[in-house]
Chains A and B, each alone.
Chain A
Amino acid sequence: MKCQKCNKSATFHITDLTGDGVLALHLCSDCAKHYLQPETESIEAPEITGVLSQQLKLEQTAEDLQTLDARECPICGISFYEFRQAGRLGCPHDYVFFGDELEPLLVSVHGSNEHTGKHPVRGAYDAQSQTELIRLRSEMKQAVSREDYEKAQSIRDQIRAIEGHRRQSPNEPS
């Protein structure tokens, strides 16, 4: 019998459990070795959490890191610790709020920290009303969970006012 991956004769007969049942493989010794010990070298993009922890190890003392970890975004409430554990940010403002830490990270991942591609055709919200909406929504959630409906109502009116202003003047440069 010939090896299924190359032309040499198959000396290994492997049965493997896969997601879809039993897979029978007939392989030569070289291919079998390769099959049983797949490349350990990762072909995935560098995990963001790994790159970040290496960067912090180089640049921060343990004390500095503790202070940094405790910093929380005033808009969405994510802590730096949560970000570096999960590798995911909490809101657009984090790019500004954690900017000093993110900049070297972006450079080591992308080789750059400056966007040179497409821009939205319309102006974006100005940075302030953008974060204001996220902040108001989270305040409203808190008000609702305290059953402070009067407060929630007034926050909702503020949200509507900002959204309404934006919708009436969609092409206004920001």
Chain B
Amino acid sequence: MHIDDLASRSGEWLRGVGPQSDIVMSSRIRLARNLADFPFIRRCNDIDRANIDSTVRERLSKDEILKDLTFIDVATLANLDRQFLVERQLISREHANSDGARAVAIDGEEQCSLMVNEEDHLRIQVMKSGFDLDGAWDHINDLDDRIESQLTYAFHEKMGYLTACPTNVGTGMRVSVLVHLPALVITNQIERVFRSLQKINLAVRGLYGEGTQAMGDFYQISNQITLGKSEKDLINQVGEVVPVVIDYERKARKFLIEEDQNELFDQVSRAYGMLQTARRISSEETMYLLSRVRMGINLGLIGDLQIPKINELFIQTQPAHLQKIRQAPLSTDERNVERANFLHQHLKVSDN
């Protein structure tokens, strides 16, 4: 598998299938783990980091499932390729931008990614399309067991899995569900939803970790606490609140339709038209318009487009993806023109 092969595909979390996939894009779980016999990353020198990297590769090659993972050396990767992996959520922005020996191992479906030498020695991540936390947990729990049978984790009887930052200690687990909430944004209810989630110790971030001005109306809901509750409890905490948020979003959509269906139809159609006809367009504006169109498809206001197609456009119009697809480095201005071309091609009226 080569990085360039990924560009034409959408990856697991954009497949647009699975439970509640009109509102829930993906379910993701990550586990932070450290090797028992190395200092944490902050106190590692180059030799330690290289040692961790090679130890992990060597040991994982002994497991019959883990041996099929593809290791990508992030340290020697071109800037554009690193950015590309960030856009696909296979590595974190921090992992892309840090220094020293580091890697990521991914599977062919892009469901699982294993960052080596991020803030912790290992960050294991599993993503599933739609609302499927149980599926994600079964998968990652098995991966974790397999890795643990090859490597010894830093673990303390009382404090659990030991992590570089005390905010991750215990389970080392972050559960997050990526939801699309355009109607709550339009009806100005999003802040209220955020505040109620914060009160029960859940965090809300944008698609790429930004704050309340999230791109494309995508939000990640995740747990804050990692210690004192079991993995199942933490999953349930997020798992119980997501259906409530879904219900709010559905009610807001219903409200928009009942209040003024023509107005909503107008907004959605204009967004669709802009995407089809623009000659230059920024990625922010694209996300904003795609979000409206996505909601329009889900509400039956647009009939000639499918959700997986829209999901694909969300990722393929990101800056690094656009450049990978065009196989050329592009300036911001050039990207805005290329992006408009790309959208024009893929949303042509004659296509249907």
Is B169 in contact with A5, judged by CB distance below 8 angstroms? no
Is A130 in contact with B227, judged by CB distance below 8 angstroms? no
Q: Flag B164-189 by CB within 8 Å of A: 1 or 0 each.
A: 11110111010000000000011110
With a CB–CB cut-off of 8 A, which chain B residues contact A20? 282-284, 319, 332, 335-336
Contacts A22-B282, A43-B204, A134-B39 given; indicate if A38 touches B119 (C-beta within 8 A). Answer: no
Contact residues of A: prevailing secondary structure: loop
CB distance from B237 to the nearest CB of A (A): 12
With a CB–CB cut-off of 8 A, which chain B residues contact A121? 145, 148-149
Q: What size tier do the contact residues of chain A reach?
A: 35 or more
Residue of B nearest to A130 (CB): B36
With a CB–CB cut-off of 8 A, which chain A residues contact B284? 18, 20, 23
Is B170 in contact with A110, judged by CB distance below 8 angstroms? yes
Is residue A21 contacting chain B, with contact meaning CB distance below 8 A?
A: yes
CB distance from B46 to the nearest CB of A (A): 10
Task: Identify which of residues 228-242 in chain B touch chain A, using a CB-to-CB cut-off of 8 Å.
Answer: 228-231, 234
In whole angstroms, how far apart are the Cα atoms of A133 and B158 in the complex? 22
Instruction: Tally the A-B contacts, defined by beta carbons under 8 Å.
Output: 187
Is A120 in contact with B155, judged by CB distance below 8 angstroms? yes
Is B42 in contact with A86, judged by CB distance below 8 angstroms? yes
With a CB–CB cut-off of 8 A, which chain B residues contact A24? 285
With a CB–CB cut-off of 8 A, which chain A residues contact B153? 120, 124
Is residue A111 contacting chain B, with contact meaning CB distance below 8 A?
A: yes
B148: contacting residue among A21, A113, A115, A122, CB under 8 A: A122
With a CB–CB cut-off of 8 A, which chain B residues contact A7? 186, 260, 263
Is B226 in contact with A124, judged by CB distance below 8 angstroms? no
CB distance from A101 to the nearest CB of B (A): 10
Is A124 in contact with B198, judged by CB distance below 8 angstroms? no
Q: Flag B156-167 by CB within 8 Å of A: 1 or 0 each.
A: 101111101111
Residue of B nearest to A47 (CB): B167
In whole angstroms, how far apart are the Cα atoms of A76 and B34 in the complex? 15
Task: Identify which of residues 309-333 in chain B touch chain A, using a CB-to-CB cut-off of 8 Å.
Answer: 319, 332-333
Task: Identify which of residues 91-105 in chain A touch chain B, using a CB-to-CB cut-off of 8 Å.
Answer: 91-92, 95-96, 102, 105
With a CB–CB cut-off of 8 A, which chain B residues contact A89? 40, 42, 164-166
Is A78 in contact with B43, judged by CB distance below 8 angstroms? yes
Is A5 in contact with B185, judged by CB distance below 8 angstroms? yes
Is residue B48 contacting chain A, with contact meaning CB distance below 8 A?
A: yes
With a CB–CB cut-off of 8 A, which chain A residues contact B162? 92, 95
B194: contacting residue among A23, A43, A106, A115, CB under 8 A: A43
CB distance from B195 to the nearest CB of A (A): 8
Residue of B nearest to A16 (CB): B284
Q: What size tier do the contact residues of chain B reach?
A: 35 or more
In whole angstroms, how far apart are the Cα atoms of A57 and B52 in the complex? 38
Which among B20-28, B205-213, B343-351 touches the partner chain?
B205-213
Contacts A48-B165, A116-B229, A122-B149 given; indicate if A92 touches B154 (C-beta within 8 A). Answer: yes
Task: Identify which of residues 38-66 in chain B touch chain A, using a CB-to-CB cut-off of 8 Å.
Answer: 38-43, 45, 47-48
With a CB–CB cut-off of 8 A, which chain B residues contact A146? none
With a CB–CB cut-off of 8 A, which chain A residues contact B213? 35, 38
Residue of A nearest to B173 (CB): A117
Is B285 in contact with A110, judged by CB distance below 8 angstroms? no
In whole angstroms, how far apart are the Cα atoms of A6 and B152 in the complex? 54
With a CB–CB cut-off of 8 A, which chain A residues contact B263? 7
A134: contacting residue among B37, B47, B167, B332, CB under 8 A: B37
Q: Flag B233-271 by CB within 8 Å of A: 1 or 0 each.
A: 010000000000000000000000000100100010000
Is A92 in contact with B156, judged by CB distance below 8 angstroms? yes
Residue of A nearest to B256 (CB): A7
Is B152 in contact with A43, judged by CB distance below 8 angstroms? no
Is residue A44 contacting chain B, with contact meaning CB distance below 8 A?
A: yes
In whole angstroms, how far apart are the Cα atoms of A38 and B228 in the complex? 34
Query: Can you name 10 A-B residue pairings with CB atoms under 8 Å?
Result: A18-B284, A38-B213, A39-B212, A43-B198, A43-B211, A110-B226, A115-B156, A115-B171, A117-B170, A117-B230
Chain A residues packing against B (C-beta within 8 Å): 2, 4-7, 18-24, 35, 38-39, 43-45, 48, 75-78, 86-92, 95-96, 102, 105-106, 109-122, 124-125, 130, 133-134, 137-138, 141, 163, 166, 170
Known pairs A78-B42, A91-B40, A133-B36 / 4 extra A-B pairs, C-beta < 8 Å: A88-B165, A91-B43, A138-B39, A166-B152
Chain B residues packing against A (C-beta within 8 Å): 34, 36-43, 45, 47-48, 119, 141, 144-145, 148-149, 152-156, 158-162, 164-167, 169-171, 173, 185-188, 191, 194, 198, 203-205, 211-213, 224-231, 234, 260, 263, 267, 282-285, 288, 319, 332-333, 335-336
